[in-house]
Structure 1
Amino acid sequence: MSTASNIAKILGAALLAAIAFAAPVKAQSVDFTNAAFVQVSINPTSIPVGAADFCHRRGAECAPYKNPIAAENLTDMRWSQLVQVNAAVNAAVTPVSDKELYGVEEFWTYPTSGYGDCEDFALEKRRQLIDLGWAPSTLMIAVVRQANGEGHAVLMVRTDRGDLVLDNQAGDIRLWNETPYRYLKRQSQLSFAQWVDISDDRTTIVTASAGR
C-alpha cells in the first residue's frame, strides 16, 4: 500500500471529500476553516506555567520565529518522518510524572535519561522534526483535557492535510478531531512563547480506540 493510501486510511474517509490526498498544495490555497484544522483565538492567551519556566531557562528557543509558514506540505517523505519520529520517541521514553522526576508538579524539559512526562515527549518530537527541516511554526504543543478530566499535552503538526497529533499515549497519528480530547490552547505560529485559545466546540468527542 502506498504512503498516500496509508495517510488516507489513517486520516479517515469522512475528510477525503474535503481534503485532496493527491499532490501537495501551496499553503495559500489551503482552506484553514476546514474541520481538519483547529480554530484559534486572534488574541494571545496565558502561557502554561511549565512553558513559561522553559522559556525562562531556554530563552533562545522561545524567540519569535524568523520565517513562519502556515503549513508544511505533507509529502510522502514528511509523512514517513512523522511516523518514524513519533514511534521512536514513544519507544525510547518511559512516562514518568514531573513530581516523580523533579519533585514539582510542572517542569517542561527534554526527556532525562529516557524518562519524561507528556510535555517532554512533545518537546523531543518537536526538536527532532525541526532537526529534519520542519518549520517550527508548524510544530505546536497543545494542552488538552482527557475524558477523565486530567490535563495532557500533545504535539500538533499543521500540514496542508490538516492538524495532525503526535501523542505519547497513542501509536497512530490522527487528525486533531479524531482524538479523544477536549482541546484548550496551543502555541501560536509566531513564537514558542505565545499561546492562543482553541475553539473546540465539538458536541461529541471521539472515544479512544481499544488499542490505546
Structure 2
Amino acid sequence: MGYVRFCADQPASCKTSADLVFEVTLDRKLLDELENTNRSLNDSIAPLTDLEHFGETERWTFPVDGKGDCEDYVLAKRHALIAQGWPASVLLITVVRDRDGDGHAVLTVVTDRGDLVLDNQAADILTWQETGYRFVKRQSQGDPNLWVSLGNTRSPPVVGGGR
C-alpha cells in the first residue's frame, strides 16, 4: 500500500498523537482555514497520476514539485492544517469510490457540525452526503496507521465517543 511506504519515508507524518481530540468546534475562523487550505492547494498542485509522474502505479508523497494525484493533495492538506494547529486526530485520510466507481482519496475533517470533506475535485468543502461518493475506509482517530472500514456507504458512521 502506498501509505505504508509514505510512512516509512515520512515517519513524523504517521505518528500517533498523544492528545486525542474527537472533533473540533467549527467556528468561522476554522471554516475559513479549511476553505483557504482546500482552495490554495487545489489551485497550486497540478493533477498528475503516479504512473505519469513516477512511472509507478501507486506512490503517496508530498507534492513538493507541484504535481500529484488525489492522495498527494490529501497529504498536503493534512500537513498544512496540522501546521496551522489542527489536531491530527480530526484530519483523516479517507478512501472513497467516486461517482464513476473509481478509487479516490479525500480528507475528512471531524467537526461538531458533522464530517466535512476536502477534495481536490471540488472547490467547496462538502458534507459526506453532498459528495455523492461511497465511503470505503478511513484512518482511525486513535492511530493514523490503522484503517476503519466504513462499509462502502454514502453516510457517515455513527460513532460513540467516550468524551
Q: TM-score, normalised by structure 1?
A: 0.70
Q: Pick closer, same or farther for the CA change 1:98–1:51 going to 2, 3 Å.
A: same
d(CA) in 2 for partners of 1:166 and 1:68?
21
In 2, Cα distance between the equivalents of 1:103 and 1:186? 26
Pairing 1:166–2:152 present: no
Q: Which of 60, 65, 69 is the equivalent residue of 1:108?
A: 60
Query: Which residue of the other structure, out of 4, 7, 20, is the alignment partner of 1:68?
Result: 20
Matched-pair contact (CA < 8 Å) for 1:186–1:197? yes
Paired residue secondary structure (1:141): strand
User: Mind listing any 5+ residue stretches in structure 1 that lack a counterpart?
Assistant: 1-48, 204-212
Aligned letter for 2:90? T
The within-5 A match list for 1:165-184 is 165-184=117-136
What is the correspondence of 1:28-177 to structure 2 with a 5 Å cutoff? 49-177=1-129
- The structure where strand makes up a greater share of residues is 2
Q: What secondary structure sits across from 1:199 in the alignment? A: strand
For residue 37 of structure 2, give the secondary structure of its aligned residue in structure 1: helix
Instruction: State the 4+ residue runs in structure 1 displaced beyond 6 angstroms.
Output: none
Give me the whole-angstrom Cα distance separating, in 2, the residues matched to 1:179 and 1:201: 12
Q: Deviations over 1:125-174 (max 9, x none)?
A: 11111111100000001000112221100000001100000000011111
Identity %: 45
Tell me the residue number matched to 2:158: none
Consecutive unaligned residues of structure 2, counting only runs of 5 or more, are 156-163
Contact 1:188-1:194 within 8 A present in 2 as well = yes
C-alpha RMSD over aligned residues: 1.3
Kindly indicate whether structure 1 or structure 2 has the higher relative contact order, using CA contacts under 8 Å at least 6 residues apart: 1
Q: Which amino acid aligns with 1:171?
A: A
Amino acid of the structure 2 residue aligned with 1:60: A
CA distance in 1 between counterparts of 2:131 and 2:116 reads 10
TM-score (norm 2): 0.91
Secondary structure of the 1:88 match is: helix
Q: Any conservation in 2 of the 1:61–1:192 contact (CA below 8 Å)?
A: no
Q: Report the more deviating stretch, 160-169 or 108-117.
A: 108-117
Q: Distance in 2 between matches of 1:109 and 1:200?
A: 25
Count of residues in Structure 1 that have an aligned counterpart in Structure 2: 155
The alignment partner of 2:132 has SS state of coil
| 2:60 match: secondary structure | coil
Tell me, yes or no, if the aligned pair for 2:82 and 2:88 is still in contact at 8 Å: yes
Aligned to 1:189: 141
